[in-house]
C-alpha cells in the first residue's frame, strides 16, 4: 500500500473512486454478506457524531454562528470540512487506543474490512481511512500533538483561528514531525471535502448545521433551498 496516497478533492467522486481504489470489488460468501453492517447505520453514526461535535465546539467557542453563516455563503469550509475532519480524527484516535483492527464508531460498533458494506463508495472510503489511521498510529502522538492536530483539522491550518482557541494543543518542536502531522491533516481535509460532495451529503450537512445552531440556543436559522 502506498502510504503517500494524496487525496485530490478537485476531482469528482467517480474519478476519486477509480483513481484511489483500483482493486476488484469486494467478494463475499452469503454468510459473510449477512455480517456486513448496514450502510445507513454508518452514515447515521457519522452525522450524529458530526452534530454532537459541532454543538460542543459551538458551546466552547471554537466555532461561532458567524462560521455557520459564512458556510451558507460558501465563504469557509469549517462546517463541511473542518468539523467532519475533527470527527474522523477522533474516530481514528479512539480506534488506535482501543486496539481496533478497523474503526470504533461512537456507538461502540466496530467497522472492519470484514463487515464493511459492499459497494464502490465504501471501497473508496475504507482504503484512505485505513492509510491515515496507520500513519497516525506509527507516529505515536503525545496528547498535546493530538490536540494540535484537532485544531489544525478544524481550521484548515488557519493560524489566526488556531491561536485564538486554546485547547491545550501544541505543535511538535521538530519540523519534520510537524510536517508529517500537518500532511495527514491535509489529506483528511481533502478526504472530507470529497465526502461532502456525495449526492446526498449536502442535504444532511444543511440539516445538521441547522440542528447545531438551534440545539445550542442560538438564533433561528432558515437555510433556503439554494443551500441544498
Q: Provide the pairing of β-strand 103-104 with 110-111.
A: antiparallel
pTM exceeds 0.85 = no
Q: Say if residues 213 and 219 touch (Cβ distance below 8 Å).
A: yes
Element (H, E) at 78: none
DSSP structure class, residue 226: G
Q: Specify the pLDDT at position 108.
A: 83
Domains, the chain, ordered by start: 13-218 (1.10.565)
Of all residues in the chain, the percent with pLDDT exceeding 70 is 78
Between 139 and 218, whose confidence is greater?
139
Question: Would you call 111 helix, strand, or coil by DSSP?
Answer: strand
- pLDDT, one tens digit per residue, over 117-164 is 887 778 888 889 999 999 999 999 999 999 999 999 999 999 999 999
For residue 37, the tally of other CB atoms under 10 A from its CB is 17
Q: Say if residues 192 and 89 touch (Cβ distance below 8 Å).
A: no
Q: Say if residues 88 and 78 touch (Cβ distance below 8 Å).
A: no
Between 60 and 225, whose confidence is greater?
60
Q: How far apart are CA 161 and CA 156, in angstroms?
A: 9
pLDDT band at 33 (very low <50, low <70, confident <90, very high): low
Phi, psi of 67 (to 5 degrees): -65, -40
Residues in Cβ contact with 150 at an 8 Å cutoff, skipping those fewer than 6 apart = 86, 89, 90, 167, 169
- pLDDT, one tens digit per residue, over 54-83 is 999 998 999 988 888 887 777 778 988 999
User: Which single residue is written with the C-alpha cell 457519522?
Assistant: 46
Instruction: Give the range among 19-33, 62-76, 98-112 with minimum mean pLDDT.
Output: 19-33
Amino acid at each position: 500500500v502506498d502510504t503517500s496516497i494524496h487525496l485530490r478533492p478537485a476531482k469528482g467522486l467517480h474519478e476519486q473512486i477509480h483513481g484511489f481504489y483500483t482493486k476488484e470489488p469486494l467478494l463475499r460468501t452469503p454468510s459473510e454478506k449477512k455480517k456486513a453492517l448496514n450502510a445507513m447505520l454508518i452514515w447515521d453514526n457519522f452525522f450524529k457524531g458530526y452534530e454532537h461535535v459541532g454543538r460542543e465546539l459551538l458551546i466552547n467557542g471554537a466555532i461561532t454562528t458567524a462560521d455557520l453563516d459564512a458556510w451558507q455563503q460558501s465563504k469557509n469550509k469549517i462546517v463541511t470540512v473542518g468539523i467532519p475532519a475533527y470527527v474522523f480524527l477522533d474516530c481514528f484516535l479512539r480506534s488506535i487506543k482501543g486496539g481496533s483492527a478497523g474503526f470504533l464508531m461512537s456507538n461502540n460498533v466496530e467497522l472492519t474490512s470484514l463487515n464493511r458494506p459492499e459497494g464502490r463508495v465504501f471501497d473508496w472510503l475504507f482504503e484512505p481511512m485505513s492509510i491515515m489511521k496507520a500513519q497516525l498510529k506509527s507516529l505515536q502522538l503525545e496528547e498535546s500533538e493530538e490536540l494540535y492536530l484537532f485544531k489544525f483539522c478544524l481550521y484548515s491550518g488557519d493560524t489566526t483561528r488556531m491561536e485564538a482557541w486554546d485547547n491545550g494543543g501544541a505543535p511538535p518542536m521538530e519540523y519534520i514531525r510537524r510536517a508529517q502531522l500537518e500532511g495527514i491533516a491535509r489529506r483528511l481535509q481533502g478526504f472530507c471535502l470529497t465526502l461532502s460532495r456525495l449526492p446526498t451529503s449536502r442535504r444532511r450537512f444543511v440539516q445538521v448545521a441547522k440542528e447545531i445552531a438551534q440545539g445550542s440556543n442560538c438564533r433561528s436559522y432558515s437555510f433556503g433551498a439554494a443551500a441544498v
